[in-house]
Chains A and B, each alone.
Chain A
């Protein structure tokens, strides 16, 4: 038999082809002789497909099959990349038993014809309207009428195509079809004529197959209605009747789930499962380009998603809240969690025990009195927890009032008046203080320490944080308590000692930093605390007194306040306190940051010809200034030129002019003399005060004229003018002078020689020659001589 088989052939004796135009599919049916079926032979078939216009085979495939005795014909399908209308397709088959080496003869070609165009009214495009997957390849044809040639065949918008249009059938292949801005591609075909019937157009939709439904999950609230949800996935770009369609089916019952899918952000579908407890649900999404599924298999009791608790109500004490709520899910054991939001933002979660009951409660303790909390609840299945329900509505709840806790921080300012003192009391809530109630008032009580008088008290509304009382010079004990609708707080006490003379303490300057004003003091071991007080607005009344307390081991602090501004002097008093009695220890004063003085000194000027004395006695150096006045700078310069005075330093202005600068480092020194000035000269000068923050720029000068120097004048007169005058007179009266002073022949009357008595005759002096022995004798005949 084996030898027989080796050479036996079983030719194809039946071959039939049909076509599925919608799927562009050839359906091939064939058979071999009965003997092959009876022998249940394993056979191979070679199948070839050919198209009319092509001489080559477009497809060859080997198909192996084992025949059975039923004798049913064999089937095979082939999907054409080209619409079957475009041209005729032919198929032939040959066979071979697997045990044999010999192929049978080929069957005859069996043909299915393309479109018969004899009665066509115009060219036709195939496929006419197709949905094409983005990125895929597509082949189109345009069949012209009989005896017509396809002249134009293209896509719009234009894409790169492979085109063959020189016959009655035009072919067009588009590779990697891309989606355009408009979700259609139009194909255009034209025969070689121009009338309207020579054209055909077709539209293609380019889209994508649907994505697999994401996050497909089913759950129930009441074990009767199941809801399945899933995410839609990406856009398929196919709309209307081509848009994705969803169906759900239940595999165990083999039925389609009777639910209506609705999609917004997510898709969902709900239906009644009756008594079924185990489900195998498949969601199928399908569009013309593909189909995807997702499945969820579950036990309904393991997928309970309870409804949110509702109708919350509460009962409160001052420190506890008991919260009640209702469940919609009856008969399902639930376990709940309560979230409590505290006013400070802290969130606490509290678990409560499981219950089948339609209501439940939880008691929340350790809360603060008269404080608002916000509570909400969610629940989950106690057995086989699946997920929490939605939160219930948030319910704000306020605990009841209680006695105020903690103590007030109190302080005082004492102002002596005639016959006693006015005491302004201040209070604030210490960090440990809690009002624990709605309406707070403050009870202020004072009485003499020694006793002997009834205590006095007043009640102050919570609107106020200070009050003023008047006391005499005895020592008093003052207590302040906060009161609410329930009770009083513990009293805060301070003692005002008996009035003594005021001791003047020296005020010490302190420095400001970026973070505040640094205060330090001498620690003293007898005190159990220190207090520093100051005014936030020292120039105003009331000045907004502030205070801070420090422990016994502290001896310094950085005081800062939002009210501190540069240029304002703040005064600090440091007290030591023991047994509620405070004693003033030290005084400090300082600026957060010194600024230059607001005003320059107003200067009085006293001039001499070579000096100017400047004075500014009225200039204040107190707290009205915006910094501690450290001293003064005097700037001088002649108007027309740079200054260079002996004893000064050079100071260059922004305009490069040079001033002489003198520094006075004592703020109480308010007088200065600038020397070595030139007389009769114009000078400009200015006096600037400076603080730790510097001084303001020089803007205005004072102008002076040094007077003319009179000493010089006198000197000038003496040394120059007088001699000149004398010389002039002498010249003018030279003769007289000469005669008077140094005559050529002196007048005997003036001679000492002739002063003897015996030589006078009357008034004339006579010289007896005998009385004198001349050395030389000469007779002068000149007129002068004659005169003599």
Chain B
């Protein structure tokens, strides 16, 4: 691992935390009504799978790393789905697509760093990750809704992750 991987990981999580709300707000705006006005109803995160993140600052470091890995592996897959769907539903929403791409890039960097840390510091070579349902084949409305639910939950969880690190 690079010598500053811990610090880089912390900064990457902080970056995601700083940009999460804007990403979500822009996503809502690009879906059109009633997503902006009925966010609570339509984007209830309980309607979608999201990996649990039940660690805090007092948790064991290894547990924290594993929880992070599961979170970002799931996020990477979800962002892939959301980006694919939005490229079809909203191909002219350049700013939204750029933000999704940037968030995905940072997430992949995080996965790489976490993989290295888990391997080097904790001898963890494999982590079971649950990815939730793919949006492929679903109706346009369901695609929009699933993206909205995932991103809403993401805003909450990334803030927790930033606090832990």
Residue numbers in A under 8 Å from B70 (CB-CB): none
Q: How big is the A interface, by class?
A: 20 to 34
Indicate if A203 sits at the interface (CB-CB under 8 A). Answer: yes
Interface centre among B34, B42, B92 (most CB of A within 10 A): B34
Total A-B contacts with CB atoms under 8 angstroms apart: 52
Residue numbers in A under 8 Å from B92 (CB-CB): 183, 239
Interchain CA distance A182-B28 in the complex, whole Å: 11
Residue numbers in B under 8 Å from A240 (CB-CB): 87-89, 91
Indicate if A34 sits at the interface (CB-CB under 8 A). Answer: no
Whole-angstrom distance between the Cβ of B36 and the nearest chain A Cβ: 10
Closest to B42 in A: A201
Interchain CA distance A205-B34 in the complex, whole Å: 15
Interchain CA distance A20-B144 in the complex, whole Å: 28
Q: Are A196 and B47 in contact (CB under 8 A)?
A: yes
Closest to A157 in B: B33
Indicate if A151 sits at the interface (CB-CB under 8 A). Answer: no
Q: Are A184 and B88 in contact (CB under 8 A)?
A: no
Closest to A239 in B: B91
Q: Are A184 and B139 in contact (CB under 8 A)?
A: no
Indicate if A506 sits at the interface (CB-CB under 8 A). Answer: no
Whole-angstrom distance between the Cβ of B165 and the nearest chain A Cβ: 35
Which of A183, A196, A202, A239 contacts B141, CB < 8 Å? A202
Interface 0/1 of A84-128, CB less than 8 Å to B? 000000000000000000000000000000000000000000001
Give residues 174-194 of A contacting B (CB, 8 Å).
180-186, 188
Which of B34, B87, B88, B90 contacts A186, CB < 8 Å? B34
Which of B31, B34, B90, B144 contacts A188, CB < 8 Å? B34
Interchain CA distance A180-B47 in the complex, whole Å: 28
Residue numbers in B under 8 Å from A668 (CB-CB): none
Residue numbers in B under 8 Å from A185 (CB-CB): 32
Indicate if B30 sits at the interface (CB-CB under 8 A). Answer: yes
Q: Are A182 and B141 in contact (CB under 8 A)?
A: no
Q: Are A180 and B139 in contact (CB under 8 A)?
A: no
Q: Are B32 and A184 in contact (CB under 8 A)?
A: yes
Residue numbers in B under 8 Å from A156 (CB-CB): 32-34, 37
Q: Are B33 and A241 in contact (CB under 8 A)?
A: no
- Given contacts A157-B32, A184-B31, A201-B145, whether A239 and B88 have CB atoms under 8 Å apart is yes
Interface 0/1 of B89-122, CB less than 8 Å to A? 1111000000000000000000000000000000
Residue numbers in A under 8 Å from B30 (CB-CB): 182
Q: Are A182 and B140 in contact (CB under 8 A)?
A: no
Q: Are B139 and A182 in contact (CB under 8 A)?
A: no
Residue numbers in B under 8 Å from A181 (CB-CB): 32
Pairs across A and B, CB under 8 Å, 16 listed? A156-B33, A180-B32, A183-B89, A183-B90, A183-B92, A184-B89, A184-B144, A186-B32, A186-B35, A186-B141, A188-B34, A203-B140, A203-B144, A239-B88, A239-B90, A239-B92
Interface residues of B (CB under 8 A from A): 30-35, 37, 42, 47, 87-92, 139-141, 144-145
Given pairs A157-B33, A201-B141, 20 additional interface contacts (CB within 8 A): A129-B139, A156-B33, A156-B37, A180-B32, A181-B32, A182-B30, A182-B31, A182-B32, A183-B89, A183-B92, A184-B32, A184-B144, A186-B141, A196-B47, A201-B145, A203-B139, A203-B144, A239-B89, A239-B91, A239-B92
